[in-house]
Structure 1
């Protein structure tokens, strides 16, 4: 496939042609996944990154402008998404280590255990006090680890609704748990 054919395909995609989108997806998906694995060292994550890229392309097809070749754009985008993923993973790992370290420090003191139990009870009560939909969104995000996009699909709501409800849930929980914030 040459650069000009890709450009024609992309122009059709901008007009909403699903067959052209599917053709572009099938043409590059495997190659992009292999490329992404070089960065992530993780097949499922690589596939998710490529799938997310294609989803974003479809969602923003009307606004998207590609000044280089479509192939270069796809590979550069996958590289950028992978680098963002790696950076995010590193931050998550650092945060997890910090939380584990702090949790170990907390377990050293018997008094802390009582505070922790009280805090967990208060957290659960505060979560239970949230409106049903907000509580469900919060639990899917924080307890099941779903991404906002996955929650939106699962509950058949917009990502913006998920973001708004999560923001309200966190704000409410902060207010109700303000006495415990120094313990965090």
Structure 2
């Protein structure tokens, strides 16, 4: 397929032609996947990012008149989504590592044990506040160590649904833990 063919297909996509979209999807899916996979080193997430990239492109049909190279345009969108994934993952990992470091570095004494117990109780309470299916998804992921695909098969939902439920659960826990962390800081400042 030449660049002239791509230009015609892109024009058809811009006009809302689903067959044109399918042709571009089939032609560029693997290229985009390999690109994102090299960035984030996570096959499942890379596939999700590519699906999201093509969904974004489909939703932009009718507004793609300025695009001269579909490949470059799609790579740009996929690359930005991959970087957003990395930023979100780094923030989640940094918060978790901060709490783990705090718990490991502290001398084992009654106060530390009390804080650990309170933190565990607090996290359990926050998990219990999640909607039932979301809580079940979270526990299958974190407690049972199942992958998104395994959870989706067990719960008879899509991988994307599992991913969204886990993202919401983690966002809820991050916000809750930041409140706990703030209360803990206030406690130590007052004592």
- 1:138 shift after superposition: 5.6
Give the TM-score normalised by structure 2: 0.61
Judge conservation of contact 1:66–1:73 (CA < 8 Å) in 2. no
Per the alignment, residue 183 of structure 2 pairs with: 182
Of 124, 131, 137 in structure 2, the residue corresponding to residue 135 of structure 1 is 131
Alignment of 1:27-176 (within 5 A): 27-105=27-105, 108-125=108-125, 128=128, 130=129, 135-136=131-132, 139=135, 144=141, 154=161
**Could you say if the C-alpha distance between residues 60 and 166 of structure 1 is closer, same or farther in structure 2, counting changes exceeding 3 Å?**
farther
Judge conservation of contact 2:126–2:176 (CA < 8 Å) in 1. yes
**Aligned-partner Cα distance in 1 for 2:158–2:136:** 7
Give the TM-score normalised by structure 1: 0.63
Listed as ranges, the gaps of 5+ residues in structure 2 are 143-147, 149-156, 186-191
Per the alignment, residue 12 of structure 2 pairs with: 12
Listed as ranges, the gaps of 5+ residues in structure 1 are none
**Aligned-partner Cα distance in 2 for 1:181–1:110:** 21
- 1:54 shift after superposition: 0.8
Per the alignment, residue 151 of structure 2 pairs with: none
Instruction: Say how many residue pairs are matched.
Output: 167
**Could you say if the C-alpha distance between residues 115 and 103 of structure 1 is closer, same or farther in structure 2, counting changes exceeding 3 Å?**
closer
- 1:34 shift after superposition: 2.0
CA RMSD of aligned residues (A): 4.1
- 1:100 shift after superposition: 1.4
